Structure 1
Amino acid sequence: MTELLVIVSRDADYYLMLSYILKEAGYRAMLVDVPSEAVAIAEESEAAAIIVDCQPGSQILANIASGLKERELTSDITLIALVAEKAAYLDILKANVDESFTRPMPPERLLTYLHGAIGNPLDELAKRPVPMFDEMRLDAGARRVLVRGAPVNLSPIEFRLLSALMNDAGRVFSRAELIDIAWPKRAFVKPRTVDVHIGRLRRALKRALGRDVIRTVPKVGYAIDVV
């Protein structure tokens, strides 16, 4: 789940512009136009930060800072002030905000701060493993496996082994279960034979996917991981 940022502003146009920038950077944005509700909404929504549009003569920032302190949320929710040129800067300092920016400001300054304070969601998304089922598709009717659209050559036994593992991803299958699934009935198959075929299947998938998705559970059996 991407981080939620609560924006306190009575300027709808400014909010729309700011929320667009934040969403493009991977964050979620929520407008709160009733400042007295900002802290409660941020707490309930588990927001990572409150961004306050500070106008001259307004006590909104001080009230929000006090609300965070009263609820003991100052270490959980980052408080950021976007300060209009004629706003009293001393009031900003008294509010003990985590960071303040004078408007107009380059958006990258705010984003750079957010990346350092609460993380960069685009970086996290890029690091996240792609789910195996998004890359690999098993076509039972045609008895073939496609990885990113390219076929993977498997023997009939390897195909049946993969089908069983994928149909119950994460479950650990014993060698005896896999023998019952993948080999003809009444065939005599040694457990070591299962290991050989799983090894071939593992290498074929690793070549196609670039990573090992079959997990060996010592003394138990095998499972396939979905990420």
Structure 2
Amino acid sequence: MSALEDRPWPDHSAEAVEADLVVGEALMKPLVAICSQDTELYLFLSHILAVDGFTSEPAGGVEDALELADERELQAVVLDCGPTSAIGSTICARLKGEPRTGDLPVIALIAPGAENQHLNLLKAGIDESFVRPIAPAKLLDCLRTKLALPKPGSNGIENGSWLCCGSLEMKPDAYRVRGNGHDIHLGPLEFNLLRQLLEAPGKVFTRDELIDAAWPDNIHIGARTVDVHISRIRKALKAASPGSVIRTVRSAGYSLEKPDG
């Protein structure tokens, strides 16, 4: 028997082809790690992610998430924060401090009554946080925005007009921001805050007005949280559009300065 005859032939049966297609499709779907000790919550999240075209894996903690990042092309992390534990911000800080996962979007789900965790998560570098229960569409929209994925059924065509102030441009319906022609990547909260400022350059918006524009009605947000997000926007603008300045008006709020002339 020749060496060619000894070589095993590929399995082209219908079952094998279908299995290969399933594996290939799973590898193409964005992978999200779900860090949670709540089995029911994990099953719920994994189901809604699967329906919307994502794939997910459980991660009991940082080490599991890092292992996923090493073995698979991890795209994002959903972090379930317990009502009395500070471990959520600890996990977030560790993920943001690792080269493998530092650039990954980390989204926190905060238990009702534990909204005080929000500021600690912001300090740890969290990209977005929601108070449970959360509407599945809101989480999915957030993931798609963070990963620059089109919404289901979208053909990727951008419609609508740009909001402009000097070199700063925003296309609201496409969730796109540019400074001096360079894309600026913002989280949904920062995007909504900047949109409010861009719709009326020069106008001073109070913190309460900015909260109404960016946060859901059922979440209590303090003035300090607005300051943290404005600081994030300023940092992004300084890198891509240094001529765009958000002015602090003492005891009043914030304003996007109009360009000279």
TM-score by length of 1: 0.50
